[in-house]
Amino acid sequence: MIQTDILIIGAGPVGLFTVFEAGLLKLRCHLIDSLGQPGGQLTEIYPKKPIYDIPGYPTVLASELVDNLMEQIKPFNPGFTMGEPAKTIEKVGEKMYQVTTSKGTVHQAPVIMVAGGLGVFTPRKPPIPGIADYEDKGVAYVIRDPEVYRDKTVLLAGGGDSALDWTIFLADVAKKVTLVHRRDSFRGALDSVEKVMHLAETGKINLVTNAQAVGISGDDHVEGITVKHKTGEEEVIAVEEFIPLFGLAPKLGPIAEWGLQINKNAIVVDTKDYSTGIPGIYAIGDINHYEGKLKLILCGFHEGTIAVQSAFSYIYPDKKLNFKYTTVNGVQGLPKEGAVLA
């Protein structure tokens, strides 16, 4: 069982920054996320997308922002449960909640911060007959460990940042990489497009445009992908791994069944402290709803900051909260070992 002070559901930018604000108040945090690595949408959907509204950064790439946030929270030693969506929540004490993930990992904390962005992300699967039979048998919709593809023949499908970025990365990992896209133009960053084109021109990858994957074959594992060209001609490309990257569709998921007030797939909160109406449970970032809500990362940062102040008073009602500027007090991290609230 994992015990902490604040359990954060969602390891996107807002969830990560909340760790920092909680750490300043000596509150420990543990984060749960359905995705395999921190960063939420920034990591999974548009890692190379420039962001222009982060204070102090005229522009910063999404992946760089995640890296900076991870560096910023290092002193506070947060814990992570990744690749496991939070499934159930129950009250197990006067001020204690228990959250269990889809894989049965149990967490306890007096405060829950729901920072799930737009919710649980599920992959958009291509309409290929029988593709579900090959999941975990050569078909993957999200790359969690690129070493899985070391010295293998891989076919990726898609035309966005994720497909481009992973094509570039796997070109130095896999034995052979093929990228299939239904158009001859791409939606991703220009720099990534240029790199993919260069890899194709130099023979480092096989680029197939104006075509799409329509079939899959193999006995107990993927052995071939049928590709249909715009001309109507079909060919079977022999591969060991098939990675269709068509984005992720957000859903509120099990959180919708937690008894929270929901408005249009978002959690209604009180703007005084972004509490949900259930003591000890807050919602911050894109997943919450209130009049005048703006779905901006910087707004989520503000919401997390205010919510943490309220959470401290909820956990320690008899303690006076002495807020100090970091420019005066500095940043003092939590020790790696020590007691947490029980």
**Distance (Å, whole) CA 248 – CA 245:** 8
Q: Which two tokens stand for residue 340?
A: 């947490």
Match 């990362």 to its residue by tokens: 297
267 token code pair: 């959690």
Q: What is the pTM of this model?
A: 0.66
Tokens 């703007």, residue?
271
Nearest to 31 by CA among 121, 104, 122, 101: 101
* pLDDT reported for residue 335: 61
Q: What is the mean pLDDT of residues 27-49?
A: 85
pLDDT band at 339 (very low <50, low <70, confident <90, very high): very low
Q: Which residues, other chains included, contact 111 with Cβ-Cβ below 8 Å and sequence gap of 6+?
A: 5, 6, 7, 97, 280, 281, 282, 311, 314, 315
In order of their start, the domains of the chain are 2-122+249-329 (3.50.50.60), 125-246 (3.50.50.60)
Residue 123 has pLDDT above 70, yes or no: yes
- How many angstroms separate the CA atoms of 4 and 269, rounded? 23
pLDDT at 331 exceeding the cut of 80: no
